Every structure is written in structure tokens, then in C-alpha cells.
């Protein structure tokens, strides 16, 4: 897995700058930049796209992978729709991606592991969360999510009280200060985020609860970017077929799996409102970390 320093050095080298034009026949792909120095949410996605492009280098030629300027999810979808930068690909759920006028790379980028959620908790409330052994009890706790995130709608549909907040780092601060009880994250994010925020007074990683709900996500881009869509999709499927994508995912999951003891947690499964759009059947590409954990 990329160490945080290596990831940030990569970011510095990839940020869009007023450089000369790309070489002829070189495909440029743009991904969303992290929000802060501790934001490692997109490290796996970047590495997965790079792997897909490497898998197709012999057949499709050279590529250039770059990052956008930092921006929130809504702004990134808008930028992708306006084709403000070359082949801007944004991870999104179907409803938001399609609403922005974008189309997906037909491949579930997280291989389904993002269905499991663990939570950051306000430290004085750890015992309260440990005793919350029903869906109703967990729903009565105060939850915080990013503004416009699909998770907030799913939580509310299950009776949760959810406050939406702008700014990634502010979400951790809300919990640390006791203004929210829980901030729940999927398992690919939680381990790295705990390493980055472990020194924040008032913030702990809950050791008892495991939420589960399906949240299909894909890379979305402008429908005019057909060459990029086809190449990245083909590369991801090649990497899945030879096992290199699963190996990459395992590498990025290591910080979380070492901490979370998923099989020993209290599993609470949430219902998900029927999506307006179903892009594909994800099941052939899904990994269930409880039934077949990556090792």
C-alpha cells in the first residue's frame, strides 16, 4: 500500500499545472485531488486506474494520469460534465452520476467491499454505542455525513438522525467535539483515516458496530470520453481476471483489516431505497469480506 508520504508526493507530481500539451497519442486521465494532507480516500482509486492503464499500455499506448485541483464532490461532477479538464473521472453512485449527465465505466470500482461501515465515535460515548444492539438504538444516536453524500439518504431512510456538513476534516472535528456521536465510514477508508486522525482528542474508533448496506459506485465521466471509458473499463476487467486488482485492494485494506476485527462485530443491515438507475450486475465482481476475507 502507498504510505501516506508516497501518496502525497504522488499528488504533488500529478496536480494539474500549465504544462505543455500531452504527447501525440497519449491518453490523459484526470482524477479528483484529495481534500487535505490527511485525505487518503482516493488513493486506492488512483492506483486502480493506474493499474488499468498499465494493463492496456501495450495495446493502447502511453497515458498520463493527473489530478484535478482540490474540490468537493458536487463541484467535481460539474467539472466533469463541462469537460473542464481532459477525461475527468469521478467516483459516484448512479443517481448523482447520471443526474450530472455523466456515464459510468461499467465496473464496480470498490469490488463491493464498501458495503461495510465502521464508525468513528465521540470518545465519552463509546459505551453508549457498545450497548446500542438494535437498529433503532443505533438510529437514535447523532450521525454526521458529508453534504450531498448518498450515505446520508440511506441512513435517513432507516430512521437515522443525520447532520450533513461541508468539509472533509470538519466531519472528524464534529465527532471529536461531541457535536455528533458517530461518523461511519466504509472499511477501505476507516483504517487509513484512523491512522491520520488518531491524535485528535475526543475521537475514537468504535470497536463494536458494523453497518452494512449496498452502495454501488463507479467511475463517471462525460459521455464524449469514449476512448477513456473503454480503455479504463477493459483494463479493470483484465486486472480483475488476473487477480492483480484484488491484490491491490488487499494492499489498501491492510490498515483497516488489521484494526477492525470485522467478524467479531455486531452486524446491523440497513435497507436501501430502490435506486433510480441500475448500471450493471455487480455480483460477479463483489468480494464479501465476512464470507471470504482478503488475506
pLDDT digits (tens, 9 = 90+) for 189-247: 998 899 899 999 999 999 999 999 999 999 999 999 999 999 999 999 999 999 999 99
Rounded distance, CA 108 to CA 217, Å?
6
> What does the longest C-alpha to C-alpha distance in the chain come to?
61
Distances (CA, A) of 171 to 237, 245, 270: 34, 30, 22
> In this predicted structure, what is the pLDDT of residue 9?
42
Give the mean pLDDT of the chain.
Answer: 89
- Give the mean model confidence (pLDDT) for residues 244-261: 92
CA angle 16, 49, 197 (to 5 degrees): 75
Locate 185 and state its grid cell. Answer: 465510514
Rounded distance, CA 50 to CA 45, Å?
8
The pLDDT confidence band at residue 54, using thresholds 50, 70 and 90, is very high
Burial class of residue 295 (count of CB atoms within 10 Å of its CB; 0-12, 13-18, 19+)? exposed
Cβ-based neighbour number of residue 80 at 10 Å: 27
Rounded distance, CA 107 to CA 230, Å?
11
The pLDDT confidence band at residue 124, using thresholds 50, 70 and 90, is very high
Pairing of strands 63-67, 27-31: parallel
Please list the alpha-helical segments (H only) found in 111-225.
126-130, 135-139, 150-157, 168-176, 187-197
Locate 97 and state its grid cell. Answer: 452520476
Residues with Cβ within 8 Å of residue 143, at least 6 apart in sequence:
155, 160, 161, 162, 163, 180, 181, 182, 183, 184
Q: How far is CA 244 from the centre of its chain?
A: 19
pTM: 0.88
Which residues partner with 209 through β-bridges? Answer: 266
Whether the Cβ atoms of residue 224 and residue 82 lie closer than 8 Å to each other: no
Rounded distance, CA 233 to CA 221, Å?
12
Amino acid at each position: 500500500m502507498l504510505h501516506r508520504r508516497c501518496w502525497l508526493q504522488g499528488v504533488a507530481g500529478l496536480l494539474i499545472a500549465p504544462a505543455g500539451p500531452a504527447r501525440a497519442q497519449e491518453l490523459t486521465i484526470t482524477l479528483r485531488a484529495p481534500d487535505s494532507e490527511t485525505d487518503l480516500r482516493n488513493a486506492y482509486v488512483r492506483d486502480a486506474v493506474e493499474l488499468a492503464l498499465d494493463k492496456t499500455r501495450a495495446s493502447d499506448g502511453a497515458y498520463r494520469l493527473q489530478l484535478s485541483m482540490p474540490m468537493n464532490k458536487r463541484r467535481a461532477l460539474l467539472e466533469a460534465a463541462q469537460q473542464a479538464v481532459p477525461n475527468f473521472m469521478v467516483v459516484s453512485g448512479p443517481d448523482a452520476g447520471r443526474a450530472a449527465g455523466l456515464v459510468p465505466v461499467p465496473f464496480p470500482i470498490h469490488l463491493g467491499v464498501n458495503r461495510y461501515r465502521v464508525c468513528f465515535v465521540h470518545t465519552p460515548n463509546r459505551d453508549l454505542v457498545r450497548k446500542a444492539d438494535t437498529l433503532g438504538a443505533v438510529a437514535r444516536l447523532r450521525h454526521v455525513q458529508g453534504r450531498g453524500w448518498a450515505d446520508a439518504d440511506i441512513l435517513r431512510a432507516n430512521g437515522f438522525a443525520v447532520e450533513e456538513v461541508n468539509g472533509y476534516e470538519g466531519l472528524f472535528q464534529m465527532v471529536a467535539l461531541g457535536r455528533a456521536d458517530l461518523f461511519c465510514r466504509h472499511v477501505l477508508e476507516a483504517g487509513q483515516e484512523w491512522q491520520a486522525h488518531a491524535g485528535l482528542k475526543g475521537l475514537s474508533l468504535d470497536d463494536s458496530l458494523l453497518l452494512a448496506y449496498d452502495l454501488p459506485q463507479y467511475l463517471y465521466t462525460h459521455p464524449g470520453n469514449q476512448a477513456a471509458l473503454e480503455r479504463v473499463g477493459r483494463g479493470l476487467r483484465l486486472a480483475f481476471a488476473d487477480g492483480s486488482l484484488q491484490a491491490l485492494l488487499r494492499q489498501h485494506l491492510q490498515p483497516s483489516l488489521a484494526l477492525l476485527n470485522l467478524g467479531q462485530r455486531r452486524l446491523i443491515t440497513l435497507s436501501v431505497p430502490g435506486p433510480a438507475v441500475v448500471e450493471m450486475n455487480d455480483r460477479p465482481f463483489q468480494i464479501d469480506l465476512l464470507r471470504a476475507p482478503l488475506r
